[in-house]
Amino acid sequence: MSILVDDDTRVVVQGITGGEGKFHAEQMIEYGTNVVAGAVPGKGGQEVAGVPVYDTVDQAVEAEDADASVVFVPPAFAADAIFEGLDTDLDLVVAITEGIPTQDMAKVYKRLTEVDTRLIGPNCPGIITPGEAKLGILPGNIFESGNVGLVSRSGTLTYQVVDSLTSRGIGQTTAIGIGGDPIIGTDFIDALELFENDPDTHAVVMCGEIGGEDEEEAAEYIAQNMDTPVAGFIAGRTAPPGKRMGHAGAIVSGSGTGTAESKINALNDAGVPVGDTPEEVADSIEDLL
Amino acid sequence: MKLHEYQAKQVFAEAGIPTPGSALATSVDEVVEVAEDLGYPVAVKAQVHVGGRGKAGGIKLVEDADEAREAAESILGMDLKGYTVEKVLVEEAVDFTNELYVGVTMDRGEGKPVVMVSERGGVDIEQVAEEDPEAIVREHVDPAFGLHAYQARKAVYDADIPQSVARDVASVVSTLYDLFEERDGSDVEINPLMVTSDDDVVAADAVMNIDEDALFRQPELAEMEEEAAEDDLEAKANEYGFDYVRLDGNVGIIGNGAGLVMTTLDLVDYYGGEPANFLDIGGGAKAERVTNALDMVFSDENVDSVVFNIFGGITRGDEVAKGINAALEQFDEIPKPVVVRLAGTNAAEGREILNDDLVTVEETLEGAVQRAVEFANEEADQ
């Protein structure tokens, strides 16, 4: 079992004719993902990575029965592409693009309350159910099918933790990168709830970072609603206030909210062990399973 | 990206928000000249990206030419919390009866912009926010519609702004929201918005921070950014297109992916070292980017050792290794010891390729960080 994506997911790649879009469409197909189409305005009728390209997402849905999309569209046009996915009533839109203006995302966020589509990202590595499907840019070879769920705001940090798990023979049900932007679609609580309701997920790794209060809210959710054990990691203990640490969302505010300390304390209070190093997170998961 | 006060005031004034008469000065003589033109009293204000300038001695009110000269001599060139003051704004002093606060920011939890108004403006607004949050009225805005006129009025009346200036304050709030939206602000703020004895309102300070991801569609503001860059290394990072933050320590850090780089910083601290910087080299690691990243870190005179941590996903370890070799071969002598850790795709091949004469190779992140901390401590002892 898994959450959100499996080998039945029918994927349309928005922006498949661009360098990134084409490369990762090929990688996704090689991994076994059921990529059925691409969508790029003005490029309808072409074939890229062995799949037909349509001018609109709507056409791709009509012709190929796509139910999910991955967005590789440049930042200036990405919000528009996400809107297209939402308004076409897909089940899932995964936005990889980094650097979408925050105000564009505020408009997307509003729209999300009006549609049934789930958004993952933006500024994320995507989602993978090992052995079945990956929607995004995660390196498939480090994942192994198993019983640990993973949710993270960061891409390479996810890889680091997954690598530790896999090398110990601990596989994953599904791993979701929810993205490093201040405004994102699926958040920690959404992902934790999906893992809690998945009988095959026996433990969850949650990798947070400085900025915002999502981790604090997730800690409260874990304490009140979860039976599945969770192990945590928080990046950014040494980040100075007022500086954006790479991710647009990773910033400790001048008034001192969004600190690693606050997040670690909240998780510890919720009974979640927080590792000092990524290896310690894998140790905790080994203990919890 | 932060605008300086004088830049933000220029943007505000163009949008119709009342600001005091002022001019920028970079020398003592210029300060006196401008002050004479404006007429005393004037305020001499350091233009650096530092909060609490007034308390730190970066703002002085002067009554005549002698005082203006004295203030200019003390402020120009002074070190304000690590920044050297090179420009001052000379500005008409406002005779005020009350200080208000108005601002617009993005409430990331709600995913919506929020307008804020308070009757208790002035230097201690952060303290007010902490101790008496109700004293700051917040009105969330639906980004699809923008700020309705009634919302600006509602915020102003709910904040107990006196009737005599309420309309003017509401108008400033509306303009401020429009600027936030049209100029892709992340924070725009006037504190204090001064009320004069004639019941006029004047923006005595101005904060305007811009969403860096939106600078592509704000060319005018992007130009101001170059002017606003204060640290040479941070300016260099902009040029190279790196996410870079300078810190106080001596272990230089280069990695890929924000979360993993932050984690590397944290581990340096955990193992008893002090991180010198955050540098995310991003996806791919072509020789040129590797060279530029090493150049950045070696340019920081505090750096005693470097840890280079790459988790290859799509980025391949062998390519990174070739990039590192090529970059380091350009040096007659490697300036500081470099520890490299490669993981993920083709990591083993990458480790084979790395030249042991140029770098120290470690297999684990923890091992690499510990080694870099040791090197830094040895260098620092010499």
Indicate the domain borders of chain B.
21-92, 96-224, 232-381
Q: At B282, give phi and psi (nearest 5°).
A: 80, -170
Distance between CA atoms of residues B230 and B48, nearest Å: 8
Q: Contacts of residue A183 in chain B, CB cutoff 8 Å?
A: 106, 108, 111
pLDDT digits (tens, 9 = 90+) for A103-112: 999 999 999 9
Distance between CA atoms of residues B36 and B43, nearest Å: 12
Domain B96-224, CATH homologous superfamily name and number: ATP-grasp fold, B domain (3.30.470.20)
Q: How far does Cα B57 stand from its chain's mean position?
A: 21
pLDDT confidence tier of residue B228, bands split at 50, 70 and 90: low
Interchain pair B262, A139: CB under 8 A = no
pTM: 0.93
Closest Cα in chain A, distance from residue B180 (Å) = 9
CB atoms under 10 Å from CB of A45, counted, come to: 9
Interchain pair A106, B143: CB under 8 A = yes
Q: Which of B1, B106, B107, B108 to mutate to test the interface with A (most CBs of A within 10 A)?
A: B108
Please give the DSSP secondary-structure letter assigned to residue A239: P
CB atoms under 10 Å from CB of A286, counted, come to: 15
Distance between CA atoms of residues B221 and B2, nearest Å: 10
Interchain pair A125, B212: CB under 8 A = no
Contact A71, A95 (CB under 8 A): yes
- Amino acid (1-letter code) at residue B272: G
For residue A7, the model assigns a pLDDT of: 93
pLDDT digits (tens, 9 = 90+) for B253-289: 999 999 999 999 999 999 999 999 999 988 666 778 8
**CATH for the B21-92 domain, from 3.30.70.100, 3.40.50.300, 3.40.1390.30, 3.30.1490.20:** 3.30.1490.20
pLDDT digits (tens, 9 = 90+) for B160-170: 999 999 999 99
CB atoms under 10 Å from CB of B199, counted, come to: 13
Q: A107-144 burial by CB neighbour count: b if 16+ within 10 A, else e? A: bbbebbeebebbbbbbbbbbbbbbbbbbbbbbbbebbb
Distance between CA atoms of residues A199 and A228, nearest Å: 9
pLDDT digits (tens, 9 = 90+) for B350-369: 999 998 889 999 999 999 99
Nearest beta carbon to residue B111 from set A109, A142, A246: A109
Q: Contacts of residue A163 in chain B, CB cutoff 8 Å?
A: 311, 343-344
Q: Which of B233, B251, B263 to mutate to test the interface with A (most CBs of A within 10 A)?
A: B263
Q: Along chain A (289 residues), what's the average pLDDT of each consecutive run of 10 residues?
A: 90 96 95 98 97 98 97 97 97 96 97 97 96 95 96 93 95 96 96 97 97 95 98 95 85 79 96 96 96
For residue A32, the model assigns a pLDDT of: 97
pLDDT confidence tier of residue B1, bands split at 50, 70 and 90: confident
Contact B113, B107 (CB under 8 A): yes
Nearest beta carbon to residue A139 from set B142, B344, B364: B344
Interchain pair B345, A139: CB under 8 A = yes
| Topology (CATH) of A11-120 | Rossmann fold (3.40.50)
Residue B49: pLDDT above 90? no
Query: Does B101 qualify as catalytic in the annotation?
Result: yes
Contact A243, A218 (CB under 8 A): no
Contact A97, A73 (CB under 8 A): yes
Nearest beta carbon to residue B213 from set A102, A158, A233: A102
pLDDT confidence tier of residue B315, bands split at 50, 70 and 90: confident
What is the SS3 assignment for A259?
A: coil
Among B49, B58, B50, B51, which residue's Cα sits nearest to residue B3? B49
Block residue for tokens 């870099």: B372
Among A236, A233, A206, A210, which residue's Cα sits nearest to residue A222? A206
Interchain pair A254, B126: CB under 8 A = yes
Interchain pair B256, A125: CB under 8 A = no
Interchain pair B263, A235: CB under 8 A = yes
For residue A255, the model assigns a pLDDT of: 66
Q: Among residues A10, A202, A247, A263, which one is catalytic?
A: A247
Nearest beta carbon to residue B243 from set A157, A236, A246: A246
Residue B82: pLDDT above 80? no
Please give the DSSP secondary-structure letter assigned to residue A240: P
Among B111, B108, B110, B177, which residue's Cα sits nearest to residue B146? B177
- B232-381 is a CATH 3.40.50.261 domain: yes
- Angle at which helices B163-182 and B149-158 cross, to 10°: 130
pLDDT confidence tier of residue B220, bands split at 50, 70 and 90: very high
Contact B22, B94 (CB under 8 A): no
Architecture per CATH, A139-288: 3-Layer(aba) Sandwich (3.40)
Distance between CA atoms of residues B236 and B244, nearest Å: 9
Distance between CA atoms of residues B14 and A275, nearest Å: 51
Contact B225, B235 (CB under 8 A): no
Distant-in-sequence, close-in-space partners of A53: CB < 8 Å, separation ≥ 6: A16, A17, A37, A38, A39, A40, A43, A44, A45, A46, A47
Interchain pair A240, B109: CB under 8 A = no
Q: Which two tokens stand for residue A196?
A: 């809690």
Mean pLDDT of the region B122-128:
82
Q: Which of A187-201, B172-186, B303-317 has the lowest mean pLDDT?
A: B303-317
Distance between CA atoms of residues B130 and B127, nearest Å: 5
For residue B227, the model assigns a pLDDT of: 62
Nearest beta carbon to residue B259 from set A76, A101, A157: A157
Question: What would the 3-class secondary structure string for chain B be?
Answer: CECCHHHHHHHHHHCCCCCCCEEEECCHHHHHHHHHHHCCCEEEEECCCCCCCCCCCCEEEECCHHHHHHHHHHHCCCEECCEECCCEEEEECCCEEEEEEEEEEEECCCCEEEEEEECCCCCCHHHHHHHCHHHEEEEECCCCCCCCHHHHHHHHHHCCCCHHHHHHHHHHHHHHHHHHHHCCEEEEEEEEEEEECCCCEEECCCEEEECHHHHHHCHHHHHHHHHHCCCHHHHHHHHHCCEEEECCCCEEEEECCHHHHHHHHHHHHHCCCCECEEEECCCCCCHHHHHHHHHHHHHCCCCCEEEEEEEECCCCHHHHHHHHHHHHHCCCCCCCCEEEEEEECCHHHHHHHCCCCCCEEECCHHHHHHHHHHHHHHHHHC
Where in chain A are all domains bearing CATH 3.40.50.261? 139-288
Domain pair B21-92 / B96-224, same fold: no
Burial class of residue B226 in the structure, from the number of CB atoms within 10 Å of its CB (0-12 exposed, 13-18 middle, 19+ buried): exposed
Please give the DSSP secondary-structure letter assigned to residue A25: H
- Amino acid (1-letter code) at residue A18: G
Contact A10, A65 (CB under 8 A): yes
For residue A254, the model assigns a pLDDT of: 65
DSSP character string of A90-111: -SEEEE--S---HHHHHHHHHH
Block residue for tokens 């790649």: A13
Q: Contacts of residue A160 in chain B, CB cutoff 8 Å?
A: 260, 263, 311, 343, 365
Block residue for tokens 């260099």: B236
- Amino acid (1-letter code) at residue A226: M
Distant-in-sequence, close-in-space partners of B152: CB < 8 Å, separation ≥ 6: B115, B139, B170, B171, B173, B174, B177
For residue B226, the model assigns a pLDDT of: 66
Contact B211, B184 (CB under 8 A): yes
The chain B residue lying nearest A240, using CA atoms, is: B247
Q: Which two tokens stand for residue A102?
A: 């925050």
For residue B104, the model assigns a pLDDT of: 97
Query: Does B177 qualify as catalytic in the annotation?
Result: no
- Amino acid (1-letter code) at residue B287: A
Interchain pair A246, B247: CB under 8 A = no
Q: Contacts of residue A155 in chain B, CB cutoff 8 Å?
A: 257, 259, 313
